[in-house]
Structure 1
Amino acid sequence: MDKSELTGCIAFLQEAERLKNVLRSAHTSEGRRESTAEHSWRLALFAMLLEDELPGLDFARILKMCVIHDLGEAIHGDIPAIHQTPGAPDKSAREREDLQTLAAPLPERLRAQLLSLWDEYDNAASPEARIVKGLDKLETMIQHNQGMNPADFDYAFNLGYGTMHTARHPLLAALREMVDEVTRERALGGLRAPR
């Protein structure tokens, strides 16, 4: 890379830092709202733990998708799944547009690679993307079960959340059963948030 391309990379990283300030609806075990960057980090960690259970998949591609899947939220923030209703603005279209804006300083080849990975993820266009989609839903649900949530938190919503994505692989389905069991207990008020 030449100096101008390296400068573009630094400018992109500086803009991507905004993701650290984007808050999601999930709460941490201490009760503060988590950032989208924290969610993306734990999603990548989750995938890393399962690498040996996903033979034949391009694991580097999986990690890259984990890192960038919500990057577009750095500009306009997150829209919680519970607020994504028919007739609402298209979350995917907005995130892709925001990712294009965010990636503008990058050299063309890196910008194209980033957008291609994001499109692959968004469209669940590969086995790797389908795994990341499912793990993304599961990580969110695990956080909801672990978080110190407000008293009116809707645990029942999670029992139907992302089922299409978590049913696409036996490993995801097995994890889903475990997470749903905890969700049901939290919904009934029989389980406190772990510390």
Structure 2
Amino acid sequence: MDAYQMITFIKELERLKDTTRTAYMRSGRRESVAEHSWRLAMFAFALSDQFPELDTKRVLIMCLVHDLGEAYDGDISATVQVDQKEKVQKEEEAVQRLTSSLGEKGKHDILTICQEYNRGYTKEAKFVKALDKMETIIQHTQGTNPPGFDYEFNLTYGKEYVKDQAIMKSIRDEIDKETIKKMNEEA
């Protein structure tokens, strides 16, 4: 890989700074995909000592690349029912497009981690999926959401990813308490 290819890739990543998610910040502004991915990586890093069995480097990379596929078509809310297989295929094609300047090895390495996350078959992918759902809900409770926001959806969203580990369940229980508090404040 040469310098030009790397710079081309880094410039293309700006799309994720501009691509907004369906979550709102405290200011009322919509969160970007890049902001979500950064905070997810920090969440994983902060918990890394609790999970020594995980490959922390792989987890952090997965946090940073898990939503690269949203660079062209954006974020689709979990509340919107879509064909998951089609969504994943489209996102993986977007990752290939986004990483095209990296050459075959770079493209392959990033796509492989995205596929691992999407399929959820490793302990690292399951961990990142759990944190991804919880980070999203934290943003929903922290943000200034539009009227009629569906907080109730958050009480079940992603629960299947935290059921087997006490620390994750404990964090999720606190997040659910915050969700219920937010629901009551806005009722």
The TM-score with structure 2 as length reference comes to 0.94
Question: Given the alignment of the two structures, is residue 36 of structure 1 paired with residue 33 of structure 2, yes or no?
Answer: yes
Partner of 1:66: 63
Secondary structure (helix, strand or coil) at the match of 1:107 reads: helix
Residue among 85, 100, 118 paired with 2:114 = 118
1:142-161 to 2 correspondence within 5 Å?
142-161=138-157
Return the alpha-carbon distance in structure 1 between the equivalents of residues 110 and 116 of structure 2.
10
Q: In the TM superposition, what whole-angstrom CA distance separates every residue of 1:44-65 from its partner, at most 9, and x where no partner exists? A: 1111111111112110000000
Return the alpha-carbon distance in structure 1 between the equivalents of residues 177 and 32 of structure 2.
26
Secondary structure (helix, strand or coil) at the match of 1:34 reads: strand
What is the one-letter code of the residue matched to 1:155? Y
The answer on whether the counterparts of 1:23 and 1:35 sit within 8 Å (CA) in structure 2 is: yes
The TM-score with structure 1 as length reference comes to 0.90
Percent identity, aligned pairs only? 43
1:160-175 to 2 correspondence within 5 Å?
160-175=156-171
Partner of 1:20: 17
Return the alpha-carbon distance in structure 2 between the equivalents of residues 38 and 88 of structure 1.
24
Partner of 1:102: 98
Return the alpha-carbon distance in structure 2 between the equivalents of residues 47 and 119 of structure 1.
19
Partner of 1:180: 176
Shift of residue 166, structure 1, vs aligned partner: 2.5
What is the one-letter code of the residue matched to 2:178? V
The answer on whether the counterparts of 1:138 and 1:166 sit within 8 Å (CA) in structure 2 is: no
Structure 1 stretches lacking a partner, 5+ long: none
Partner of 2:126: 130
Q: In the TM superposition, what whole-angstrom CA distance separates every residue of 1:23-57 from its partner, at most 9, and x where no partner exists? A: 11111111111101000010011111111111121
Return the alpha-carbon distance in structure 2 between the equivalents of residues 77 and 190 of structure 1.
28
Which range moved further: 59-68 or 158-167? Answer: 158-167
The answer on whether the counterparts of 1:12 and 1:102 sit within 8 Å (CA) in structure 2 is: yes
Gap change, CA 1:12 and 1:159, over 3 Å in 2: same
Q: How many residues align?
A: 187
Shift of residue 169, structure 1, vs aligned partner: 2.9
Return the alpha-carbon distance in structure 1 between the equivalents of residues 106 and 165 of structure 2.
30
Question: Given the alignment of the two structures, is residue 80 of structure 1 paired with residue 77 of structure 2, yes or no?
Answer: yes
Residue among 23, 27, 51 paired with 2:48 = 51
RMSD of aligned C-alpha atoms? 1.7
Structure 2 stretches lacking a partner, 5+ long: none
